[in-house]
Structure 1
């Protein structure tokens, strides 16, 4: 007989990850793919977390057309539903979103190192093309407590009430039209893409900018 009676458990401090499917994604993705590949042919891009892949400058909102603006609005609407301003009065918003957005094109073997996005509040990823592979190029979200929760005894993990063991990372398979958003401090990366075609995605940072009050 156990000496522990009436054991209860609860989950605290969860990390919120949002997901949606952008309407009319098939048409949007055709337009985005054309614009992104055209830009890639004209611009060498920049290097950040990308390994062997192409990373555009943070200016796709300037050349991505109506399709990119539609994706950006969808990201804002999704994140707005899960954002609360503790100091707001009379339902008057005090902040608006400034968006940084860029395209990533990964050929076979390309990946993105683990990184976070300091200075932003939400970060989002939109998948344009999975590159013909269902088993590679996954977006990986890493437990922010890792590796601290594995340093004492690496082989031990916590088990929840359903018997599922604690995971140190979650992988998300690219699917055209799928969009995810998560807190910008969450470390994430992309596993090597093994498809024969280009894996294409768009990343966005939503930065909270104070709304200027009109002069009295």
Structure 2
């Protein structure tokens, strides 16, 4: 029997090697904490009703700061986004390498009590998260700081019996739970609703997030 994966939502994941991730994440944390200490200079001034508690959100231009560590992260994201798109689209390798990426990247520093309600990312096609520091893991609060992606098929669970509620993998419905790991990069469609559960750690949780618009030049 052939089983077709219709309407599948592609989510990409790449784990950077620890020997490479550790020094890069340390450099990025230092930069981001220094920028945060400057008060409103690098703070995003847009009010977001979904953001609650102790969250610092930067301006959406961090790839323009041209620090070597940020440039390294930008190249890493761009390279793996091309690989991801090469795997899930009909574009040939020459077209993939011709793509023009318009990134809107920022970082979050979340402290105890910070959370973000359900939202998606409008005016972009792909979004992503790179974890710099997942923060403190609390055994008694396993959902602290966890990201939940929600099934975009709004009526997928309108009726559940034993023939539906045991579906596996990409056929299941409900939510996809992601625990951040330092050096892990995620790509997901910008339309996909997600939320970040309240974080209760004593140390900071630091991530870079981004939206991206992509254009294939004519005659490519």
TM-score, with structure 2 as normaliser: 0.79
Alpha-carbon distance in structure 1 between the residues aligned to 2:163 and 2:114: 31
Q: Does 1:176 align with 2:182?
A: yes
Gap regions ≥5 residues in structure 1 = 1-6
Alpha-carbon distance in structure 2 between the residues aligned to 1:9 and 1:160: 16
Alpha-carbon distance in structure 2 between the residues aligned to 1:110 and 1:162: 32
Summarize the alignment of residues 68-147 of structure 1 with structure 2, pairs less than 5 Å apart: 68-83=70-85, 91=95, 95-133=99-137, 135=142, 136-146=144-154
Post-superposition CA distance 1:89-146 (Å, at most 9, x none): 9758663111110000110110111111122121110011111125320111111113
Match of 2:164 in 1: 158
List structure 1 segments (4+ residues) > 6 angstroms apart after TM superposition: 87-90, 154-157
Match of 1:50 in 2: 51
- Deviates most, 103-112 or 70-79: 70-79
Match of 1:149 in 2: 156
Match of 2:24 in 1: 28
Change (3 A) 1:34 1:90: closer
Question: For this pair of structures, how many residues does the alignment match?
Answer: 205
* Conservation of the 8 A alpha-carbon contact between 1:159 and 1:165: no
Aligned Cα root-mean-square deviation (Å)? 3.0
Alpha-carbon distance in structure 2 between the residues aligned to 1:170 and 1:176: 19
TM-score, with structure 1 as normaliser: 0.81
Match of 1:200 in 2: 206
Whose Rg is larger?
1
SS, match of residue 30 in structure 1: helix
* Conservation of the 8 A alpha-carbon contact between 2:156 and 2:173: no
Post-superposition CA distance 1:43-68 (Å, at most 9, x none): 33234342221111102113362222
Gap regions ≥5 residues in structure 2 = none
